[in-house]
């Protein structure tokens, strides 16, 4: 189905259940990762795979990181459908997802004198981290079997093997690599539930596979081993410390900036060039150096409440802030606080709503999301928290950052996403 006649059309978006406890498939040999065998007869899975084969309209599906917006990576009309649905700039490259190493090798050419087309530098990473939240940059053969829109004109492409059995089975049934950025509207927080995908893309796609909430909550780490020393192009579900434990990657460097790298050149990996992960609200991020100074947060919230007409204000707590960022300890009074739950926020930690008021009048609505102190839990719930506060219509969100130097954690990925989402950063 060609893309051009579909431009401007509105689709009936269907959410199809695909329970995570379903037996979707397995590797014939888990040590080699050569062949993924599908065993599931679940009708929604097979319907989504047939849709990927025949349509130019992408499919929303879960991985262990975030929900992806998938299309046949070998067909230009299908890949263009991704850019159209997301409103994504066409110079922002896409990552392809493969079901096994046999599929990946069929899209590569071996270097001179090498039998295996997968460069040696990546073998330790593949052995340790695949399937999982790691993307590797690979040389794109000439001619390439991939649609040119996947690489945005670059001589390389990113590939990963997700650990979600549902995702692996969907790819295997489609029979081709699946190009899949996050299944959100461009620049918005990444989706970690099917509800998030529908909220952003309702009417723009036809099928969303609902496999429940994602486990990791932030996108994959992207590495480039084609240069010396190798670099991390995007922090994600695998920390740089863990990567440095692998042979040949001891000297890996940080090759990304937390601010958007605006320029004329196409970015080498998703998430580098453009503003990302941003809710509608203004985000005020407090770096770890500011975390202990909660009084500054309190002053900012009180100023916001007294200089604006009854605003709605969001607070995202992580490791050290007091409840309500200490507001109730001031001369003001916090009233009517209660636990809050809804479909859009149930994966975002604990949310409470309250009213900030002086002795004489109401000043603001407050919404507080508590993500807990464990960095993995914070990463898991971060995007859901931003979306939940957007859903409540808050104008400003005050966020407590974490130390991105936590050894072995994905704190750097959390802070990278927050810095890209932030309107104001307090350091």
| Residues flagged as binding site for L-threonine | 65, 97, 160, 180, 182, 220
What is the DSSP pairing of strand 36-38 with strand 25-27?
A: antiparallel
Could you please report the per-residue DSSP string of 96-141?
EE-SSHHHHHTT--PPTT-SSSS-GGGHHHHHHH-SSSEEEEEEPP
* Residues pairing with 339 in the sheet: 352
Neighbour order of strands in the sheet with 362-370: 333-340, 350-357, 362-370, 312-317, 396-400, 282-286, 424-426
What single DSSP character describes residue 182?
A: B
Which residues are part of a known binding site? 65, 88, 92, 97, 160, 180, 182, 190, 220, 234, 277
Look at the alpha carbons of 269, 274, 275, 280 in this order and tell me if their dihedral is positive or negative. negative
Please give the Cα distance from 55 to 71 (Å, whole number): 9
The answer to whether the CB of 397 falls within 8 A of the CB of 391 is: no
What's the count of helices (H) and strands (E) in the chain, helices before strands? 12, 20
160, 139, 302, 303: which is closest to 221 by C-alpha? 160
237, 94, 222: which is closest to 163 by C-alpha? 237
* Residues pairing with 231 in the sheet: 224, 253
Give the pair of three-digit tokens for residue 111. 């270097």
Total count of residues recorded for the chain = 427
What single DSSP character describes residue 326?
A: G
Tell me the Ramachandran region of residue 87: left when phi exceeds 0, alpha when psi lies from -120 to 50, beta otherwise.
Answer: left
Which residues are part of a known binding site for ATP? 88, 92, 190, 234, 277
Which long-range contacts link 129-132 to residues 24+ away (Cβ below 8 Å)? Answer: 129/238, 129/242, 130/33, 130/160, 130/161, 131/33, 131/161, 131/162, 131/163, 131/168, 132/64, 132/161, 132/162, 132/163, 132/237, 132/238
Distance set, CA 50 to CA 53, 57, 175, 326, 408 (Å): 5, 12, 10, 54, 40
Q: Would you tell me how many other CB atoms lie within 10 Å of the CB of residue 365?
A: 20
What is the DSSP pairing of strand 350-357 with strand 333-340?
A: antiparallel
Tokens 């909660």 label which residue? 294
297, 340, 341, 339: which is closest to 320 by C-alpha? 297
């Amino acid at each position: 189905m060609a893309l051009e006649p579909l431009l401007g059309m509105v689709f009936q978006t269907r959410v199809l259940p695909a329970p995570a406890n379903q037996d979707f498939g397995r590797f014939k040999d888990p040590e080699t990762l050569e062949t993924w065998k599908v065993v599931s007869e679940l009708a929604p899975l097979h319907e989504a795979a047939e849709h990927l084969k025949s349509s130019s309209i992408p499919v929303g599906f879960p991985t262990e990181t975030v929900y992806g917006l998938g299309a046949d990576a070998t067909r230009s009309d299908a890949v263009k459908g991704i850019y159209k649905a997301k409103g994504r700039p066409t110079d922002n490259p896409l990552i392809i997802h493969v079901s096994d190493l046999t599929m990946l090798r069929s899209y590569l050419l071996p270097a001179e004198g090498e039998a295996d087309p997968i460069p040696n530098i990546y073998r330790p990473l593949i052995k340790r981290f695949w399937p999982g939240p790691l993307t590797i940059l690979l040389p794109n053969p000439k001619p390439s079997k991939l649609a040119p829109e996947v690489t945005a004109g670059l001589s390389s492409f990113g590939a990963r093997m997700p650990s979600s059995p549902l995702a692996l089975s969907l790819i295997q049934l489609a029979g081709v690599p699946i190009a899949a950025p996050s299944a959100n509207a461009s620049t918005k927080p990444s989706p970690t539930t099917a509800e998030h995908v529908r909220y952003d893309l309702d009417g723009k796609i036809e099928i969303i596979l609902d496999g429940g909430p994602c486990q990791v909550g932030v996108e994959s780490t992207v590495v480039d081993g084609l240069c010396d020393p190798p670099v991390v192009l995007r922090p994600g579900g695998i920390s740089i410390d863990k990567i440095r434990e692998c042979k040949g990657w001891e000297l890996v460097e940080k090759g990304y900036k937390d601010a958007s790298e605006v320029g004329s050149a196409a970015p080498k990996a998703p998430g580098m060039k453009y503003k990302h992960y941003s809710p509608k609200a203004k985000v005020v991020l407090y770096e770890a150096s500011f975390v202990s100074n909660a009084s500054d947060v309190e002053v900012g919230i009180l100023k916001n409440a007294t200089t604006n007409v009854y605003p709605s204000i969001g607070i995202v707590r992580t490791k050290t802030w007091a409840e309500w960022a200490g507001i109730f300890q001031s001369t003001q009074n916090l009233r009517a606080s209660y636990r809050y739950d809804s479909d859009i926020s149930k994966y975002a930690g604990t949310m409470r709503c309250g009213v900030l008021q002086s002795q004489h009048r109401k000043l603001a609505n407050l919404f507080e999301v508590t993500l807990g102190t464990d960095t993995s839990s914070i990463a898991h719930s971060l995007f859901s928290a931003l979306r939940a506060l957007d859903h409540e219509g808050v104008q400003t969100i005050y966020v407590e950052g974490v130390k991105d130097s936590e050894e072995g954690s994905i704190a750097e990925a959390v802070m990278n996403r927050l810095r890209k989402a932030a309107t104001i950063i307090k350091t």
